[in-house]
Amino acid sequence: MGDPFETVRYGDHPAQVVELTVPAGPAHGLVAVIHGGFWKAAYGAGLGRPLAARLAELGWVAWNVEYRRVGDGGGFPSTFDDVHAALEASAAHLPDAARVVTLGHSAGGHLAMWAPARGRFERWRSARVEVTHVVSQAGVVDLTAAHEQNLGGGAVAALMGAAPDAPAYDRADPRRQLPLDVPVWCVHARDDDTVPFGQSEDYVAAARAGGGDATLVEVPGGHFGVIDVDSPAWARIEAILAGLAA
């Protein structure tokens, strides 16, 4: 049996691919699934395949993004370039999409939250595909705090190649890009022992204080419940998406 998805290339590097899964009927829009793994090459888009399959069942075009990670040509800015390029490539498969949702887990949550603001910066000024909504699943949405917390055993320093006083953080850290112009949901478990709940809690508080549309959704299930499509945490994400499709 063949793959249930179509592989789409958006660059020449082996990691510059997307797995496209389409629904049987009309689509509500496109969900870009961005996997986690602290931006490390040891983790790949296979983490997003169960989510992509479920999203297609729910009537969404699923755009499961692979990207260069640390140890495989990634880091700042190449990882960010890839997420930008992957989003731009989606226009050929769902032109004029009314809804383009970025859905990311852990480090993927960071990239999902970064994506809506990318067009503010000269390097990604070419952005034509606009993200309309963000769902962060236990996301690393404050790189500066994550660096101070040594999350992932120095994963932020490895991604950025610098400490938070470097100018690159202004272009890479979602917390520094508040407020966003789109609604965001931070779905997170208080018992998460990999990415602290405070990452989402503090981000949402700061976003709302700045006039942003941000919602904190507390769920059970630790760090990985949010990517288990049979879990109560995932059910809350489905409810968010159903609200967007209504």
Dump pLDDT digits (tens) for 165-182.
Answer: 999 999 999 999 999 999
Contact 135, 234 (CB under 8 A): no
Question: Which residue carries 């034509």 as its tokens?
Answer: 128
Could you identify the residue written with the tokens 């409810």? 239
- CB 62 within 8 Å of CB 21: yes
Has residue 3 got a pLDDT over 70? yes
DSSP string, 101-145: EEEEETHHHHHHHHGGGGGGSGGGTT--S---EEEEES----HHH
Superfamily of the domain at 6-245: Alpha/Beta hydrolase fold, catalytic domain (3.40.50.1820)
Tens of pLDDT, residues 64-101: 999 999 999 999 999 999 999 999 999 998 877 789 99
- Interatomic CA distance for residues 78 and 33, integer angstroms: 18
**Sign of the CA dihedral running 185, 119, 13, 41:** negative
* Cα–Cα distance for residue pair 213/207, rounded to 1 Å: 7
Whether cis (ω within 30° of 0) applies to the bond prior to 77 is yes
Judge whether 178 and 186 are in contact, CB under 8 Å. no
Q: Taking residues 22-44, what's their average pLDDT? A: 96
Distance CA 7, CA 26 (A): 21
Per the prediction, the chain carries an average pLDDT of 96
Residue 211 has pLDDT above 70, yes or no: yes
Q: CA 97 to CA 31: how far, in whole Å?
A: 10
The answer to whether residue 184 scores a pLDDT higher than 70 is yes
Residue with tokens 């006039």: 211
pLDDT at site 98: 84
Total-model pTM = 0.97
Angstrom distance (rounded) from CA 209 to CA 214: 10
Q: 18: which 2 tokens?
A: 């997307």
Residue 223 has pLDDT above 90, yes or no: yes
pLDDT at 128 over 90: yes
Given a cut of 90, whether residue 4 has pLDDT beyond it is no
> What residues have CB less than 8 Å from 53, skipping those under 6 apart?
4, 21, 62
Q: Give me the percent of the chain exceeding a pLDDT of 70.
A: 99
Neighbour-count burial of 22, counting CB atoms closer than 10 A to its CB (0-12 exposed, 13-18 middle, 19+ buried): middle
**What does the alpha-carbon distance between residue 132 and residue 47 come to, in Å, rounded to a whole number?**
23
For 185, the 3-state DSSP assignment is: strand
pLDDT in tens, 46-68: 999 999 999 999 999 999 999 99
Determine the average pLDDT of the residues in 123-135.
96
Q: What was the pLDDT predicted at 96? A: 74
